[in-house]
Amino acid sequence: MSPLRYILEKEFKQIFRNPAILKTIFILPVIQLIMLPMAADYEIKNINIAVVNNDHGTLSTDLVQQITASNYFKLVSYTNGFNTAMESLESDRADLILEIPNNFETSLFKEKEASLFLAVNAINGVKGSLGAAYLNNIIQNFNQSFRNKELVPGRFNEIPQIQISSSNWYNPKMNYRIFMVPGILVLLVTIVGMNLSSINIVREKEMGTIEQINVTPIQKFHFILGKLIPFWVIGLIVMSVGFIVAWLVYGIIPLGSYFTLYFFAAIYLLVILGIGLLISSYSENQQQAMLVTFFILMIFVLMGGLYTSIDSMPEWAKWFTKFNPISYFIEVMRMVVLKGSNIKDILPQVLAMLGYAVVINIWAVLSYHKRS
């Protein structure tokens, strides 16, 4: 019988005897999947707005009412002096200042145009720019309804306008959770897999058992396979737990097949675990291995396309993400879950991961020396 069987038996026993590992596998994913998508919501609400109204006409009050009636804005101050509003922006109580000039209503009727002033607190860039965009939208609507009411119908518009109406494909309601949950699931599988595998071989080094292994006639690739397979199984289990949570909590069921996702994950995990084993094999102790893993994971996660869009990265960074396995899986996950892509559609990603897996794992086997 192959020695591999004995190695696997030993590894599985050690893994399931360690209570910390069991928690990592089952409890952490559930907590993270429930917490993170709720928190990591790109839709911004509660934008604090300070309105300076120098006009006090019906039109301007109407506009302010429309702004506060939307769910996005919270009116923090309503004054007729710009300085008070500026103070609330400087003290970070307001994100936006909208100033309505004192001749707003008259000039709108008489001259058919009026200007508004908008000041944005751009310290939180996303909040500021999104707030300005929402506000613009509301003012556009306000403008449109004003035209419809006040301008004599039948006459041509003085200024022709182009109206854009958009429909969102694959995620019709632009639900951020549908967008985030599959991505977070990828991160989970990656983090659990790489962490567990990277501290494994080095643990045997610390315990001194690696020396005992090295004096046996064990074959190098058996040893590496014996380390790889258990974590591969665990990775797939974590992913399954994640799918169950995604379905129970968020009602997310992939449009494509689970088979496609598991097929890709099976190859993907070989890459992730291979990187982990490689780190482990080069490290002297567990701290070193954990530090390096943390560093690599952080770059992979931040440049993986979940929190930042790869399309808007500079060229060199785009080139770099070609070596980032996370970016492939996030892409595949979204394609399969949201678009219903099949194996044929994700073939380029599958081939890239296969190549990556072969290179990394051969490297891992070669980096493990039985003799120093």
Partner 1 sequence: MNKTAIIVENLSKQFGHFKAVDQISFEVAQGEIFGFLGANGAGKTTAMKMLCGLSMPTSGKANVARFDVYTENESIKKSIGYMSQKFSLYEDLTVKENIKFYAGIYGISPKQIIQKTELLLRQLSLEKEANVLVGQLPLGWKQKLAFSVAIFHDPQIVFLDEPTGGVDPITRREFWNLIYEAAEKGITVFVTTHYMDEAEYCNRVSIMVDGKIEALDTPSNLKSNFNAASMDEVFIQLARKAKRSE
Binding residues for partner 1 (CB under 8 A): 1, 3, 5-7, 9-10, 13-14, 17-18, 207-209, 211-218, 370-372
Residue 265 to residue 236: CA distance in whole angstroms: 7
Residue with smaller CB distance to partner 1, 2 or 65: 2
Rounded least distance, CB 219 to partner 1, Å: 9
CA torsion sign for 145, 146, 150, 154 is negative
Rounded least distance, CB 370 to partner 1, Å: 7
In what helix (H) or strand (E) does residue 283 lie, and over which residues does it extend?
none
Rounded least distance, CB 208 to partner 1, Å: 3
Rounded least distance, CB 1 to partner 1, Å: 7
Residue with smaller CB distance to partner 1, 46 or 212: 212
Give the side-chain half-sphere CA count within 13 A for 268: 28
Rounded least distance, CB 322 to partner 1, Å: 38
Residue with smaller CB distance to partner 1, 147 or 370: 370
Residue with smaller CB distance to partner 1, 5 or 322: 5
Give 266-269 contacts, CB < 8 A, sequence gap 24+.
266/232, 266/236, 267/350, 267/353, 267/354, 267/357, 268/189, 268/325, 268/328, 268/329, 268/353, 269/189, 269/193, 269/231, 269/232, 269/235, 269/236
Rounded least distance, CB 5 to partner 1, Å: 7
Residue with smaller CB distance to partner 1, 104 or 223: 223
Strand order in the sheet with 117-120: 73-79, 47-53, 96-100, 117-120
Residue with smaller CB distance to partner 1, 211 or 284: 211
Residue with smaller CB distance to partner 1, 162 or 215: 215
User: What's the N-to-C CA distance of the chain in angstroms?
Assistant: 29
Residue with smaller CB distance to partner 1, 99 or 204: 204
Query: What amino acid occupies position 164?
Result: I
In what helix (H) or strand (E) does residue 162 lie, and over which residues does it extend?
none
Phi, psi at 90, each rounded to 5°: -70, -35
CA distances (Å), 31 to each of 23, 157, 242, in order?
Answer: 11, 56, 10
Q: How is residue 225 written in tokens?
A: 């396979």
Pairing relation of β-strands 96-100 and 117-120? antiparallel
Rounded least distance, CB 24 to partner 1, Å: 16
Rounded least distance, CB 280 to partner 1, Å: 17
Residue 121 to residue 95: CA distance in whole angstroms: 5
